[in-house]
Amino acid sequence: MEVKSNRLVTIPFQIRFKIGVLLLMGAICIGITACQPKKQDNQHTTWKDYGGSPDQSKFVKMSGNVINKSNVDQLKEAWFYPTGDDHVYQFNPLIVDTVMYVLAHNNSLVALNAKTGKEIWIHTDLRGIARRGINYWESADGTDKRLLFQMNDYLQAIDAETGKSILSFGNKGLVDLRKGLGRDPKTISRVQSGTPGKIYKNLIILGSAPGENYLVAPGHIRAYNVITGKREWIFHTIPQPGEFGYDTWPKDAYKYTGGVNCWGEMSLDKKRGIVYIPLGSPTYDYYGADRHGKDLFGTSIVALNAKTGKRLWHFQLVHHDLWDFDPSAAPQLITVNHKGKEVPAVALADKNGYLYVFNRVTGKPIWPIKEQKVPSSNIPGEQAWPTQPIPTKPKPFARHRINPDSLNPYHLTKEEQNKWHDKLIKLQNEDRTGLFTPLSNKKQTISVPGAVGGANWGNTAANPDKGIVYVISKAWPSIYPPLQKKAFGKNAEQRPGGYVNPVKAGLGLYKKNCQTCHGSNRQGIGSAPSLKSIETRLSFEDFQHTVSSGRGEMPSFSFLSKKKAEEIYRYLGGTRGGSVVKPPKGPVVASGGAPGGQKYRPAERSGGRLGPPYPKGVDAPSVRYYMNGWGLGYDYLMSPPWTYIVAYDLNKGTIKWRRPLGTDELAAKKGGNNTGVIGAQRNGMIVTSTGLLFSTAGDGKVYAFDAETGKQLWMSDLPTGTEGLPSMYKLNGKYYLVVTDTTPLEWGKGVPEYENKENRPQGGYEVFALPEH
């Protein structure tokens, strides 16, 4: 019972003294806390992360001396850092305080002074490093700063201040990414992604790129401790018994099915602790008789708890994918005004040309996505899913048909146009040109956009608070040849007896395995690089490693023996000894990463091109269908624009504007302007709070557009072509734009601008800024 009293209570002196001390200490603590600067959330104000910030919006919130619509045309070169080689880098530079991190000098990691471009340190010879970027992490007190990267299927860490490997990370500096996937690591040809992961607190969340062949590794999402290298969690993208989605596959499919991996870009809602991951198709990409069902989580977006890896929600974009419609562009995290309420949303652009928009907390579509009936398959054993989810809103950003009456007037002769016109009419009458028409084992099939069209990695950006999303789209059809039926277990690569000239044998192997992507004269097509002067870039050991393991979008050719790889290498002009790469001059502090991280580890995969047998006890088909390449080499067919930017207002679900990106030089000579560029995929954008949209293009230029209207405000020539994402940073109150330009330019049907390496301009990192006043 409470007793109330108005009497004064006398408190002894000792107690009053203690209370006073406690109050004084509390006041001091409060004062100290108030005086200590709070750690600021610098999202959208720095470029410490691949894509600029955890949400990958490529949005820059400017303050102070800004670049805006009235002065953007004054941007000039501030400094240029040459790479010192002829490699094609897709690297997105990171800028931390006053330091910029780049790749150069035959895959060396270089720290530069971000104001002058002066070298601070160089860690040389990181052959096999993931080429699109690295991750940066620092401890809460700023005393531990790390660069984390994937190299030769290991995860490694380098001290960001000294450039030296951190050997306390993992096992003497190495975390083996082939382990922990439920397969014998010795049988895995490759697993690392070319794209960096995402940092969440003390975790690095990683995707993978195991390739597209039969029985490759599964693409499970994993998180590792950035300090110890210990795996903290794993999300099975191919569900195992008892897990959600297991019943969408055949029994035990998790034991042999591969893929369902994030080889592209994931985005992080740092505030909510949710990571949004686009997952690719299951393998084999174009034939699914061994994976009947919807195949969750193939070709889906999944939202995971970034701390635990627990699935929060998912949506499958393509059921039982037979077209390689991997989503790889970064999901854009935006806020939209929908039905009078502010809604946190996520927008995902896919290679199939659709933009899917969801409530990013619940996973519910903002606008209805309806199942529509699609054609069935005519291949024995295949069971194509009868319907596919089609967004009702917004409109697609890509074309879904080739118009036979509107073919490329700049690169096709009249005779070629007539030939293709008749062929397309015939294919349309046979219904072999639909977006979701399954491939055939008897006829060609056209898919628009195809396996490398639509939106690809790097092709999305946003003004997140305003609900505006920008997408770079590529008009690139795939024309698939009939799938070939091959009895399992027979090695299709049998050699005739007797002596075979190695160069002549290499030509045959090149035509069969390489020509589809790298061209008949080795010049490269689209994202596939030129193989001319191969010896100046790759030793035979590196070449064999790339052929066996694959790299980036290049699949693994692990069935090719060391001898056959050598024959291809010799055909390309290389010698068995390979090249001798000279170390760069400058402040070299280390070489090769952690000891053992460069050792070539050939996979033990039997079965030749068709891959190894299924595990014992698995009910699987006795034949396998196969196809070389992705139906490439036909990007020149469609009428322009071949590359363009689409701006969406997702408050309304409408397209604000659409404009071509770049100009093909050969088309320009025939009167074609603003055509976009044929074959160029890997371009990126930056959006600013001052209303600008910067974008690289496949024509060797960088542009600035009005973000509201698409009007061009500025353009600058680059020394050569560019791939990958540009970066933007602020230093001493001044803003800088940096572009990676190391890609040879090609026009029309893969015609290189510079035939000889000697004529190629020096590539590097071009940095722009406003002039001093």
Mean of all residue pLDDT scores within the chain: 89
pLDDT of 141-197, one tens digit each? Answer: 999 999 999 999 999 999 999 999 999 999 999 999 999 999 999 999 899 999 999
Identity at 93, one-letter amino acid code: P
The whole-number average pLDDT for the span 623-629 is 84
Transcribe 490-535 into DSSP letters: --TTPPPSS---HHHHHHHHHHHHTHHHH-TTS---TTSPP-TTGG
> Phi-psi region for residue 496, left (φ > 0), alpha (ψ -120 to 50) or beta?
beta
The pLDDT of 195-224, averaged and rounded, is: 96
3-state helix, strand, coil in the chain (%, to 5): 15, 30, 60
pTM value is 0.90
Share of the chain above pLDDT 90, in %: 72
Distance (Å, whole) CA 332 – CA 347: 5
Average pLDDT on 730-742 reads 96
pLDDT given at position 512: 78
The gap between the terminal CA atoms of the chain, to the nearest Å, is 77
* 701 burial via Cβ count (<10 Å: 0-12, 13-18, 19+): buried
Distances (CA, A) of 258 to 42, 183, 206, 551, 603: 38, 10, 16, 17, 15
Burial of 373 (0-12, 13-18, 19+ CB in 10 A): exposed
Question: Where in the chain are the domains?
Answer: 265-367+379-490, 491-626
Model confidence band, residue 436 (pLDDT cutoffs 50, 70, 90) = very high
Q: What whole-number distance in Å separates Cα of residue 383 and Cα of residue 386?
A: 9
Task: Say how many C-beta atoms besides its own lie within 10 A of residue 405's C-beta.
Answer: 10
Distance of CA 63 to the CA centre of its chain: 30
pLDDT digits (tens, 9 = 90+) for 385-395: 999 999 999 99
For the stretch 374-385, pLDDT in tens is 999 999 999 999
Please write the tens of the pLDDT for every residue from 530-586: 777 676 667 676 777 677 766 656 666 767 777 788 788 878 876 655 555 678 999
Cα–Cα distance, 227 to 453 (Å, whole number):
39
Q: What integer is the mean pLDDT of 439-445?
A: 93
Band of residue 431 on the pLDDT scale cut at 50, 70, 90: confident
* Mean pLDDT (whole number) for 464-487: 94
Instruction: State pLDDT tens for residues 294-345.
Output: 999 999 999 999 999 999 999 999 999 999 999 999 999 999 999 999 999 9
CA distances to 76, 391, 472, 740 from 72, in Å: 9, 37, 22, 19
Would you state the pLDDT for residue 515? 78
Which pLDDT score, from 0 to 100, does residue 528 have? 66
What's the pLDDT score for residue 772? 87
> What is the mean predicted confidence (pLDDT) over 406-410?
95
8 A C-beta contact, residue 91 and residue 684: no
Distance CA 218, CA 36 (A): 47
For residue range 93-109, list pLDDT tens digits in order. 999 999 999 999 999 99
Q: Measured between alpha carbons, how far is residue 668 from residues 270, 695, 713, 747 in Å?
A: 45, 20, 20, 10
Q: What is the per-residue pLDDT for 563? A: 79
How high is the pLDDT of residue 30? 37
Half-sphere exposure at residue 110, Cβ-oriented, CA atoms within 13 angstroms:
27
Q: What is the pLDDT of residue 602?
A: 84
Sheet holding 59-60, edge to edge: 59-60, 685-688, 692-696, 701-706, 712-717
Report the alpha-carbon distance of residue 676 to residue 672 in Å, rounded.
Answer: 10
Q: What are the distances in angstroms from CA 483 to CA 284, 322, 378, 441, 627? A: 12, 12, 11, 5, 6
Residue bearing tokens 């490093």: 129
pLDDT for the residue numbered 492? 39
Lowest mean pLDDT among 36-40, 380-384, 463-467, 653-657: 36-40
Mean of pLDDT values over 611-632:
87
For residue 389, cis peptide bond before it (omega within 30 degrees of 0) = no
- What's the confidence (pLDDT) of residue 161? 98
Rounded mean pLDDT of 5-31?
42
Q: Kindly tell me if the per-residue pLDDT of 23 is higher than 80.
A: no
The Cα 383–Cα 320 span in angstroms is 9
CATH number of 265-367+379-490: 2.140.10.10
What pLDDT sits at residue 558? 66
In angstroms, rounded to a whole number, what is the distance separating the alpha carbons of residues 697 and 430? Answer: 37
Note the pLDDT of residue 769: 98
Mean pLDDT calculated for residue range 507-511? 81
Ranges 463-472, 570-579, 677-686, most confident = 463-472
661, two tokens: 């990106």
Tell me how crowded residue 585 is: count the other CB atoms within 10 A of its CB. Answer: 10
Q: Residue count of the chain, please give it.
A: 773
Q: Domain 491-626: give its CATH superfamily.
A: Cytochrome c-like domain (1.10.760.10)
Q: Which residue has the tokens 């608070």?
A: 465
Distance CA 728, CA 576 (A): 43
Q: What burial letters (b/e) apply to 106-122, b meaning 16+ CB within 10 Å?
A: bbbbbbbebbebebbbb
pLDDT digits (tens, 9 = 90+) for 222-267: 999 999 999 999 999 999 999 999 999 999 999 999 999 999 999 9
Which of 16-30, 33-47, 449-463 has the highest mean predicted lDDT (pLDDT)?
449-463
Mean pLDDT of 493-513: 64
- Residue owning tokens 């997140």: 464
| Per-residue confidence (pLDDT) for residue 608, from 0 to 100 | 73
- Of the chain, the percentage scoring pLDDT greater than 70 comes to 87
